[in-house]
Structure 1
Amino acid sequence: MSTHRTPQASDDGKPRQQAQPGRQDRMAPRPEGEERNYLAAGKLRGRCAVITGGDSGIGRAVAVAFAKEGADVLVTYLEEHEDARETERLVRETGQRCVLIAGDLGDEAHLKQVVELARKEFGKVDVLVNNAGEQHVMESFESITRQQLERTFRTNFFAMFRLTQEILPLMSEGASIVNTTSVTAYHGNPKLIDYSSTKGAVVSFTRSLSTSLAERGIRVNAVAPGPIWTPLIPSTFPEESLASFGKNTPMQRPGQPDEVAPCFVFLASDDASYTSGQVMHPNGGQIVNG
C-alpha cells in the first residue's frame, strides 16, 4: 500500500492554488522529492549534469537523486530563488556541487550563458536533462491565443531544442540526454492542447535525435510522467479541482517527484547503455501503447 501523501492531505484539508510560476515552498502538502530512503549505488560518480527547471518538483528530485549517485549538477530555473536555494542545499548535503543560474531559457542570450557556465564550471556535460516547462488551462481550443501558443512552444520545445544544440559540443561518447515529455502527448488533454502539442514534439524530437547521435555514442531518451504533484499543478488548475488530481489513474492517486526521478537515473546511467530513442512512463498505471 502506498504511503505517499495526496493533495487533499494539507493541514487545513484543502490544497491551495498558486499564481505561476508555482513555488514548492508554498505547497500544501509538499511534494515528496528527496525524503524517500533512496539507495544510491554510485551510478553517476564523476559525472556532470545540467538540469533545466531543477528548482522544484521533478527537476529537484532528479537533481538530488543525481547528486546521491555522485554527479555534480548545474540547475537552471526561472525566478523561484527560494526553491532553487533549497535544491542547492539538498545537493550539497550529499557532498556534490550545485551551480544555480536563473533566467528564461526562451531568451537566446540567457541560454548561451547557461552553456558557458557549464563549460566554465565543469568543462564537460555528461547528462543533459531538458525538464523546464509551463502549461496553461484553456476551456476551449479557440481561446488559445497566438501569444500563448508561441510562449508555450518557446519554453517547452524551442528552448530545449536550442539548448541541446548549444550544449552538444560539451558532450562526448557515453553522454546522455533525457527529455521530459508527458502522458498528455499520448492521451491528449482537451484543456491543455498547446501544452500537449509541445510534449508530442518532445517525443518526436527524442526519437529523431537518438538516431542522429547514435554514431557519436550519445543516447537520447525521455520520461513521460502522468499526474505528478509538483508546483506546476496548483499554479495551473483551479483550487476546487486539486483534491481530485490524479484520482482518474488506475492507482487512483497522483504520483510524487521521488517516484519519477529513478527513471531519469536509469536513463542517464550505464544501466541504460543499450537504450536510446525510448520513453519511460511513470504514470500511475495508464496504458498509452506508445
Structure 2
Amino acid sequence: MSDRNFPSSVPGQTQDHQPGDEFEVHPEPDYDPRYPGSGRLDGKVVIITGGDSGIGRAVAVLFAREGARVGIVYKDEVADAEETKRLVEREGSEAKLVAGDVGDKSFCQDAVESIVSEFGQLDCLINNAAEQHARDEVEDIPEEQLVRTFRTNIFGQFFCVQAALPHLTEGSTIINTTSVTAYRGQDLLLDYASTKGAILAFTRALSSKLAPKKIRVNGVAPGPIWTPLIPASFPEDKVDAFGTDSPFGRPGQP
C-alpha cells in the first residue's frame, strides 16, 4: 500500500447543483485503488447507483480492477459519467452508462433491465446515490426538500432492490451506502441523516429477509468523505472546515 499525501483541509468552494460535478472539485478526490487487482470479481456484473463520481466512482474503478463489468447509474452529470466509464475501461473492463432519477420506480426498473440486457446477468447491486441539502433550522426545511431527499436516498434504494432481485441468485450481494450521520446525526442535515438511519434499518431487515436465498446484504457507513456532494451541499465556510473534526483532522478520500 502506497502512502498518499492528503490535504489537511479543503479550500472553500461551492457548486449550485446536486449532486455536483467532480471535474469542478479542487483538489480532485482520490479514487484510485491502492493495490493491483487479483481477479476476485472476474465474470461478475455490478450496478452502482451514483457511480459517476465520489465514492461511486472509486467503487466502480475498484470493481473493474478486480474484473467486474460495471453498470453506472447516474443523474445527469454526463462529463463525470463519461470519465468514470473511461477509467473502468482503462482497467480493462466494460461499463454501461444509464442516466436518470433513482427516485422514479419505473426508471430503476428500466435501468436494471438495460444493464442486464447488455451484460447478461447481475451479481451485485450497490445503492450509493444520494442527495443532501444543508439547513440551519428545522423549520426551514421545505416539504419539497424533505420529500425529494427521502425519495432519492431511501425510496431509490427500495426501487433498485425491487428491480434487481429477480436477477440475483445464490451468492449475489447488495451493498447499501448509509452514513455516520445515521449514528450521530448532523445538525445541518436533519432530513439526510434521517434517510441514512432508514437505510440502516432497511439493510438490517433486508439482510434477514434474503439470507434464506443466500443473498448477502450489507451496509457501509462512511464518515466525512471529500466528494462533489460536499461543495454542492454547503456554503464555502462549511466546506473549508469539512472533516476537520475527524480523528485525522481532515476529510477522507473516496
1:137 corresponds to which residue? 134
SS of 1:100's partner is strand
Superposed displacement of residue 163, structure 1: 1.0
Alignment of 1:76-91 (within 5 A): 76-91=73-88
1:29 corresponds to which residue? 27
Rounded Cα–Cα distance in structure 1 between residues aligned with 2:120 and 2:158: 21
Superposed displacement of residue 250, structure 1: 1.2
Rounded Cα–Cα distance in structure 2 between residues aligned with 1:52 and 1:225: 16
2:56 to 44, 55, 59: 59
Give runs of ≥4 in structure 1 deviating > 3 Å: 1-4
1:211 to 208, 213, 224: 208
1:73 to 67, 70, 75: 70
Contact 1:74 1:99 in 2 (8 A): yes
Rounded Cα–Cα distance in structure 1 between residues aligned with 2:211 and 2:192: 29
Contact 1:245 1:253 in 2 (8 A): yes
Contact 1:7 1:245 in 2 (8 A): no
| Structure 2 residues without counterparts, runs of 5 or longer | none
Contact 1:246 1:252 in 2 (8 A): yes
Alignment of 1:1-290 (within 5 A): 3-6=4-7, 8=9, 14-21=11-18, 22-34=20-32, 36-257=33-254
Change (3 A) 1:49 1:25: same
CA deviation vs aligned residue, 1:17-66 (integer Å, no higher than 9, x gap):
111221000111000002x5422221211100000000000000000000
Superposed displacement of residue 202, structure 1: 0.4
SS of 1:49's partner is strand
1:268 corresponds to which residue? none
Rounded Cα–Cα distance in structure 1 between residues aligned with 2:37 and 2:115: 25
Which amino acid in 2 is paired with 1:3?
R
Give TM-score scaled by structure 1 length: 0.84
Contact 1:15 1:29 in 2 (8 A): no
The one of the two structures with greater contact order (alpha-carbon pairs below 8 A, sep at least 6) is 2
Supply the RMSD in Å over aligned alpha carbons: 1.4
Rounded Cα–Cα distance in structure 2 between residues aligned with 1:7 and 1:177: 34
CA deviation vs aligned residue, 1:131-150 (integer Å, no higher than 9, x gap):
00000001011111211111
The percent of aligned pairs where both chains have the same amino acid is 50
CA deviation vs aligned residue, 1:224-282 (integer Å, no higher than 9, x gap):
0000000000111111222221010111110000xxxxxxxxxxxxxxxxxxxxxxxxx
SS of 1:86's partner is helix
1:272 corresponds to which residue? none
CA deviation vs aligned residue, 1:89-126 (integer Å, no higher than 9, x gap):
00001111100011111122221210211221122210
Change (3 A) 1:224 1:95: same
Contact 2:9 2:243 in 1 (8 A): no
Rounded Cα–Cα distance in structure 1 between residues aligned with 2:4 and 2:87: 22
Which amino acid in 2 is paired with 1:171?
L
